[in-house]
Amino acid sequence: MLIRKPSDIKPSEITSESVYLQRRKFVAAAIAGGLIAAPFRIAHADSSNPADTESQLPPLEYSVNPHYTVPQKANTWDQITHYNNFYEFGEDKTDPYENDGAFVSHPWSVTIDGEVEKCGTFTLEDILKPHPLEERTYRLRCVEAWSMVIPWVGFQLSDLIKRFQPTSAAKYVQFTSVYRPSQMPGQRTGLLPWPYIEGLRMDEAMHPLTFMVVGLYGRTLPSVDGAPLRVMSPWKYGLKGGKSIVRITFQRTQPRTTWNVVDPSEYGFYSNVNPNQPHPRWSQATERVIGTGFFEERKPTLMFNGYGEVASLYAGMNLHRYY
Ligand SMILES: Nc1nc2c(c(=O)[nH]1)N[C@H]1C(S)=C(S)[C@@H](COP(=O)(O)O)O[C@H]1N2
Ligand SMILES: [Mo]
C-alpha cells in the first residue's frame, strides 16, 4: 500500500510490485538452496510449533469450533508471525517482528464508550472473563492481493456487544488501536495518521463471523498479530481488522477509518473482499498464497473471501459504489 502522495516519493524509492515479487522469489530461492537462514518456512509444514522466542507465549484454554474451518491447510506459526502488516512497527512485512521488542501488551485496558449503556474503562481480564475462548480457522485476504489461512483463538464480538448494551442510536462500531510511539517506532513517523482507526456497521459487527482475537495456534496472541486484542471480519480485506485495540466506540455515524482517510479512492469503508472490484492500481481477481514455495501459488479470489453467508448484509447495495 503506497501511502505517501506520489509527489512526495523519489522515483528511486518506488518498488514496483513485479520487482518486489522478484526480490521475494530470489530470497525464497536462496533460502530453499540453503544460501541464507530461513526467516520463515517457505513450504507448508505441520507447524503449529513456533520456532522462535514466541514459543514462550502462554497457552490458552479454548475449544475448537468445528463450524469455522476451511479446507485449505493453515499457514505455519512462523509464516503468520514473520509476514505482517502492522504499520505501527514499520512499513515492511518483516518490520513488525524486527521492531516489536519494546512493545508491552500487559497490563492492558479497553475503553467502551459512545452510544452504549455500560460505558467505562475495563481491564482486559474483565473484558475477557465471561467469554469462553474458541479456535476458528479463517482465511485472511489482504487488499494487496495475498492471503493466508490462520487458526485464531477468540470469541464472537456480538457476545461482547450484547454485554455492554449499545443504545438504539448506535449504528456503527469504531475500533481504535493503541497509540504508543515510545514502543512503536512506526508511530514516530508520519507513515499513517495515528492512531489506526477501523470500524464496522452495527450489523457487520453483530454478524457471527466477526471475531475478537486474543490468540494464535492455541497461544496468547503475538504482538505482531495485534496483541492483546484485535478484531477480524474474514469476508473483508485484512485492513479492517484493527490490531491492539484500546477503545471500542458505538457511534451514530460512520467512523473515519484510517486507510479510507489516507486514500478514499483506493480503500473504501466497506472493503469487502470482491474479485470484481479492482483496486485502482491492481486486480483483485486472484491472490498470492503465502507459504506455497518458490513458484508461489496464485488462486482466484472468492466473493466475500468465500464467506457467502454475509451477502444478505449487502442486499440491494451497489458494491461498486460502496467498495
Ligand atoms: N493497528 C493496525 N492494525 C492493522 C494494520 C496496521 O497497520 N495497524 N494492518 C492491517 C492490514 S493491512 C492487514 S492485511 C492485517 C494483517 O494482519 P496479520 O499481520 O495478523 O496477518 O492487519 C490489519 N490491521
Ligand atoms: Mo492488508
**Integer Cα distance of 272 and 114 in angstroms:** 25
Shortest-distance atom of ligand 1 to CA 96 = 19
Ligand 1, pocket-test mutation among 86, 103, 246, most atoms within 8 A of CB? 86
Mean pLDDT on 73-81? 97
The alpha carbon of 120 and the centre of ligand 2 are apart by a number of angstroms equal to 31
Mean pLDDT value across the chain: 89
**Integer Cα distance of 111 and 119 in angstroms:** 7
Q: Give the pLDDT of residue 274.
A: 98
Provide the CA 293 distance to its chain's centre, in angstroms.
23
Shortest-distance atom of ligand 1 to CA 259 = 12
pLDDT higher than threshold 90 for residue 317: yes
Cell numbers representing residue 306 in the block: 468465500
Q: Give the pLDDT of residue 22.
A: 42
166-178 pLDDT, tens digit each = 999 999 999 999 9
Shortest-distance atom of ligand 1 to CA 148 = 21
Mean pLDDT on 189-197? 98
- Residue 113: count other Cβ atoms within 10 Å of its Cβ: 16
Residue reference for cell 466477526: 210
- DSSP structure class, residue 49: S
128 φ, ψ (degrees, to nearest 5): -85, -30
The residues, ordered by sequence, that sit 6+ positions from 299 with a Cβ below 8 Å of its Cβ are 147, 286, 287, 289
* Cβ proximity of 177 and 243 under 8 Å: yes
Q: Give the pLDDT of residue 186.
A: 98
Reduced 3-state DSSP string for 225-261 = HCCCCEEECCCECHHHCCCCEEEEEEECCCCCCHHHH
- Residue 137: count other Cβ atoms within 10 Å of its Cβ: 17
Each domain of the chain, given as residue ranges in start order, spans 63-314
- Residue 322: count other Cβ atoms within 10 Å of its Cβ: 13
List all residues whose CB is within 6 A of at least one atom of ligand 1: 84-88, 140, 142, 177, 196, 225-226, 238-239, 241-244
- Residue 19: count other Cβ atoms within 10 Å of its Cβ: 10
Residue with CA nearest ligand 1 atom 23:
239
Cell numbers representing residue 154 in the block: 477468540
Q: 312: helix, coil or strand?
A: helix
Element (H, E) at 82: helix 77-82
Q: Is the pTM of this model over 0.95?
A: no
Residue reference for cell 504499520: 87
Ligand 1, pocket-test mutation among 153, 239, 260, most atoms within 8 A of CB? 239
The alpha carbon of 85 and the centre of ligand 1 are apart by a number of angstroms equal to 4
195-251 pLDDT, tens digit each = 999 999 999 999 999 999 999 999 999 999 999 999 999 999 999 999 999 999 999
Q: Give the pLDDT of residue 56.
A: 81
Ligand 1, pocket-test mutation among 40, 243, 267, most atoms within 8 A of CB? 243
pLDDT higher than threshold 90 for residue 154: yes
| Buried b / exposed e along 56-67 (16+ C-beta atoms within 10 A) | ebeebebeeeee
Of residues 94 and 12, which shows the higher confidence score? 94
- DSSP structure class, residue 52: S
pLDDT higher than threshold 70 for residue 85: yes
**Integer Cα distance of 200 and 226 in angstroms:** 18
pLDDT higher than threshold 60 for residue 80: yes
Please spell the DSSP secondary structure of 144-163, one letter per residue: TSEEEEEEEEEEEHHHHHHH
* Cβ proximity of 143 and 221 under 8 Å: no
The alpha carbon of 3 and the centre of ligand 2 are apart by a number of angstroms equal to 13
Shortest-distance atom of ligand 1 to CA 1 = 12
pLDDT higher than threshold 90 for residue 158: yes
The alpha carbon of 314 and the centre of ligand 2 are apart by a number of angstroms equal to 22
63-314, what's its fold? Sulfite Oxidase; Chain A, domain 2 (3.90.420)
The alpha carbon of 84 and the centre of ligand 1 are apart by a number of angstroms equal to 7
Sorting pLDDT into bands at 50, 70 and 90, what band is 51? low
The alpha carbon of 228 and the centre of ligand 1 are apart by a number of angstroms equal to 14
Q: Give the pLDDT of residue 1.
A: 64
Integer-rounded Cα radius of gyration of the chain? 19
Q: Which ligand is nearest to the CA of 195?
A: 1
Residue with CA nearest ligand 1 atom 21:
84
Residue with CA nearest ligand 1 atom 12:
239
Q: Beta strand pairing status for 120-123 and 109-114?
A: antiparallel
